Amino acid sequence: MFQWCTSHVPHGNKLASATWRRAIGLIAVLATGLVYASEASAAKCLYVSSYHKGYEWNDGIERGLEAGLQGKCELSRFYMDTNRNTSPEFARRKAREARQLIEQTRPDVVIACDDPASLYLIMPHFRNAAVPFVFCGVNWTVKDYGYPYSNVTGMIESAPIKSLVKEIRGLLPTARTGIYLAADVMTQHKEFEENREAYAKGNIELSPVFVRTLAAWQLAFAAAQQADFVVLGTNAGIMDWNSASAHQSVFSSVKKLVVTNYDWMAPYAVLAMTKIAEEQGEWAAQLAQSVLSGIKPDTLPIVANRRWQTYVNVDLAARAKIQLPPRLVHGAVKVGQP
């Protein structure tokens, strides 16, 4: 039977509970009542990742997707690799390759992960088309892509920023300025705007620093210690990233509270509140199964993720002279040097 975990629900989710109940109800009916015919096992699913194999976040999504679709369809994969190749021209070329693959192989459903797949593949080539799509990993909002379409449903990816702002306010009541440090890639510019708005509501001015190299990131991290705190975006897109070197520079220069919404950045932060990648893949798999059963995508509500995890780095907190409250430390995953 389909089960959904609602623990660690981010505060301030804009999607109504009724929408979630409707979505869960539709999927639960399918999971408990549908008996797959023999030909269903021969159904074809295509996973289109905006990024590359080995990008930690998307690997987690893919794990959830694989587990959910095992025995339900033959799962093929296409990687657009737009984090390591950031030009729009490259993304458009890879989207054309993906379109050709879809037209040649005629999958029964396409699962498209992260923003570039929606921007460069679905919106220009498959808007209201016959091919059904399930998206996941789209950051914060779908308005940039004009969803919903008749052939598209999916899950939005939102980080528990409001909860993190609340913790920062508790730790640093007088904080007024923060630095957002991230790789110079499309999704991080979008992430920054969402962060900026959330922090502004807490009377905190957040300024961005986007970098392309590890050396630039290390220099920016040290300089950011002049602010009241630092928010780490993703390092994905920094091609020469070296975990040991990054951690050494963080440990030697940290003086302020460092936070993040990415679990793989938790070793470089004092406090992390993060999304769970597998949730995106698991839900996308359930939606794909619904589509394979004959349910039209536009009858399946677009929802946002509901689960999150807290991490603390006790050693880095001590180095920065940050006193974390026991109730926060007690319930968190402990991390250290990567």
The H-or-E segment that residue 27 falls in is helix 17-33
The H-or-E segment that residue 246 falls in is helix 243-253
What are 73-126's pLDDT values in tens digits? 999 999 999 988 989 999 999 999 999 999 999 999 999 999 999 999 999 999
Q: Taking a C-beta distance cutoff of 8 angstroms, is the pair 28, 290 a contact?
A: no
| Boundaries of every domain in the chain | 17-28+35-158+276-306, 161-274+309-334
Q: Look up the pTM and report it.
A: 0.74
Q: Which residue type occupies 5?
A: C
pLDDT of residue 13: 44
DSSP line for 56-115: HHHHHHHHHHHHHHTTTSEEEEEE--TTTS--HHHHHHHHHHHHHHHHHH--SEEEEESH
Domains 17-28+35-158+276-306 and 161-274+309-334 share a fold: yes
What are 32-53's pLDDT values in tens digits? 444 443 344 479 999 999 999 9
Q: Which residues is 180 bridged to in the sheet?
A: 208, 231
DSSP at 126: -
In this structure, what are the phi and psi dihedrals at residue 163, rounded to the nearest 5 degrees?
-65, -35
CATH number of 161-274+309-334: 3.40.50.2300
Architecture per CATH, domain 17-28+35-158+276-306, reads as 3-Layer(aba) Sandwich (3.40)
Q: Please state, as a whole number, how many other Cβ atoms lie within 10 Å of the Cβ of residue 326.
A: 8
In whole angstroms, what is the distance from residue 65 CA to residue 59 CA? 10
What are 203-225's pLDDT values in tens digits? 999 999 999 999 999 999 999 99
What are 160-216's pLDDT values in tens digits? 999 999 999 999 999 999 999 999 998 899 899 999 999 999 899 999 999 999 999
Torsion angle, alpha carbons of 84, 87, 88, 93, to 10: -70
